[in-house]
Amino acid sequence: MTERRALIVGLGISGIACAIAMHRAGWTPVVVERAPARRRGGYFIAIMGVGRAAAADLGVGDRLVDHRAQSSTYVIDRQGNRSPGLSFADIPINPYLTMRGDVEDAVWQTLQDVAPDTEIHFLTSPTAIEQDSNGVEVTLEGPEGVTRKRFDLVIGADGIRSTVRRLAFPPELGGLRRLGTMICAYALQEDLPTLPRGVGGQIIEPGRSFTVFPFDDRRSTVLFSYYAADPDAERKGVHSEQIRKAFGPEPLGPILEAALRQLETSEAALFDIAEQVHLSTWYQGRVVLVGDAAWCPSLYSGMGASSGLAGANVLGKRLQKHGDDIAAALADWESTMRPRVSSFQKFAMTGVGVFTPASTDAIRIRKRAMVLLTYPVIRWLFSRLGKFLPIMQQRQRPIA
């Protein structure tokens, strides 16, 4: 059989998982990454059953570890007074609670094991993509200058603002869809007042929230989420100043003040508009998108990394199954993934309201639900019945 080469654009969780899956399917993956090196650290993420099953299939094994904190998460006010709260640890399908960088490290180590010679070019990006029925010509710009290379398949795993999507997918197929909120996520350098290591908290006010995701073995990561009338203007501003305005005019209090002071010196904070990607198809000929580039469900779904892992895993399997018939493989792959991804995207619409309730009424309802969940019998029922909710089943069932 002749060698089949796939260009993978992007070395995030989805891109690395694609490299493993393509290697396993008998292809030669070549990766380009715009950044000068692999990213590390990041923010809290939960890996659901769909992601855990895909990681297991990809051979990631026990490199993916649950780092959940043992103590509780509380709803707190600006002074740190506590009332009952709910966290990802209470989701009745046992997600792994970890950090984005841990998941990326786990897939990266696996790639090093199975295909250590994978060609990876940093500081390199595609600037043009042209295809015919037999292959794809890609113009790449990087330290070697401008080069033109031919591949049998191009996989865009280059994130929510994908260049591959811009170059190969006409805008009428769809694109970004805003959820109305801004997000800011980063890891703390010091514990916050009243919230020692391992204790989580959430300040919930109409249209704005602040969440502390706890770990026992490292410092917490935090997330600001708030509605913004003009997200473009918001994003152009300085993150800490914009958040101070959004959480004013009331005094910030010791917890928010300490968190914002740490944001001012954080080098890796993510400050962005919360968006999803909606496309009517995820492939055009021999160019396919995977992960956030194709379907970003947003952080409110808790499924971005999990669906990226599953998308990569299933793509490799379908290409292996259909051999030289790439069109059939991509059609089969998309029809397998699309119903699941649609449900994750829909779930995110509920997730925005749970994370950042827009009104005092919504907060009141949320608060009552939290109090109810302090009763052991209700908690037990929630853990039993929650498993039967359709979205929960989607989350825990592996995608084959």
Ligand X SMILES: Cc1cc2nc3c(=O)[nH]c(=O)nc-3n(C[C@H](O)[C@H](O)[C@H](O)COP(=O)(O)OP(=O)(O)OC[C@H]3O[C@@H](n4cnc5c(N)ncnc54)[C@H](O)[C@@H]3O)c2cc1C
Contact call for residue 105 and ligand X (CB under 6 A): no
Number of residues that this document lists for the chain: 400
Contact call for residue 168 and ligand X (CB under 6 A): no
- The residues that bridge with 8 in the sheet, in sequence order, are 31, 155
- Candidate segments 38-46, 67-75, 318-326, 351-359, binder of ligand X by CB under 6 A: 38-46
Work out which of 69, 129, 182, 223 binds ligand X, going by CB under 6 A. Answer: 223
Pinpoint the alpha helices (H) of the chain. 13-24, 49-57, 100-114, 163-168, 231-236, 239-246, 253-265, 292-295, 304-322, 326-355, 360-372, 376-385, 390-396
Residue whose CB is less far from ligand X, 207 or 291: 291
Work out which of 136, 185, 256, 310 binds ligand X, going by CB under 6 A. Answer: 185
Work out which of 11, 21, 30, 129 binds ligand X, going by CB under 6 A. Answer: 11
Contact call for residue 69 and ligand X (CB under 6 A): no
Work out which of 291, 316, 351, 357 binds ligand X, going by CB under 6 A. Answer: 291
Contact call for residue 159 and ligand X (CB under 6 A): yes
Work out which of 198, 207, 304, 357 binds ligand X, going by CB under 6 A. Answer: 304
The set of residues, in sequence order, having a beta carbon less than 8 Å from that of 344 and lying 6+ positions away, is 295, 297, 301, 303, 307, 391, 394, 395
Residue whose CB is less far from ligand X, 338 or 381: 338
Least separation, in Å, of the C-beta of 126 and ligand X? Answer: 6
Structure tokens at 265: 């010196």
The set of residues, in sequence order, having a beta carbon less than 8 Å from that of 94 and lying 6+ positions away, is 49
Contact call for residue 12 and ligand X (CB under 6 A): yes
Contact call for residue 263 and ligand X (CB under 6 A): no
Q: Under rule CB under 6 A, which residues in 330-389 are in contact with ligand X?
A: none
Decide: residue 223, CB within 10 A, 0-12 exposed, 13-18 middle, 19+ buried.
buried
Least separation, in Å, of the C-beta of 335 and ligand X? Answer: 20
Contact call for residue 115 and ligand X (CB under 6 A): no
Contact call for residue 201 and ligand X (CB under 6 A): no
Contact call for residue 158 and ligand X (CB under 6 A): yes
Least separation, in Å, of the C-beta of 38 and ligand X? Answer: 8
* Secondary structure tally for the chain: helices H, strands E: 13, 18
Residue whose CB is less far from ligand X, 115 or 381: 115
Residue with tokens 């800011």: 184
Q: Helices 13-24 and 304-322, interaxial angle, to 10°?
A: 20
Least separation, in Å, of the C-beta of 114 and ligand X? Answer: 18
Residue whose CB is less far from ligand X, 256 or 299: 299
DSSP 90: G
DSSP 33: E
Strands 28-33 and 283-284: unpaired
Backbone angles phi, psi at 323, to 5 degrees: 55, -125
Residue whose CB is less far from ligand X, 213 or 247: 213
Structure tokens at 158: 């280059």
Contact call for residue 14 and ligand X (CB under 6 A): yes
The set of residues, in sequence order, having a beta carbon less than 8 Å from that of 35 and lying 6+ positions away, is 11, 122, 123
- Candidate segments 37-45, 105-113, 242-250, 358-366, binder of ligand X by CB under 6 A: 37-45
Contact call for residue 268 and ligand X (CB under 6 A): no
Contact call for residue 98 and ligand X (CB under 6 A): no
CB atoms within 10 A of CB 377: 7
Contact call for residue 15 and ligand X (CB under 6 A): yes
Q: State how far Cα 115 lies from the chain centre.
A: 25
Contact call for residue 73 and ligand X (CB under 6 A): no
Contact call for residue 308 and ligand X (CB under 6 A): yes
Residue nearest to ligand X (CB): 304
CB atoms within 10 A of CB 244: 16
Contact call for residue 188 and ligand X (CB under 6 A): no
Residues that bind ligand X (CB under 6 A): 9-15, 32-35, 39, 43, 45-46, 51, 100, 125, 157-159, 163, 183, 185, 223, 270, 291-292, 299, 302-306, 308
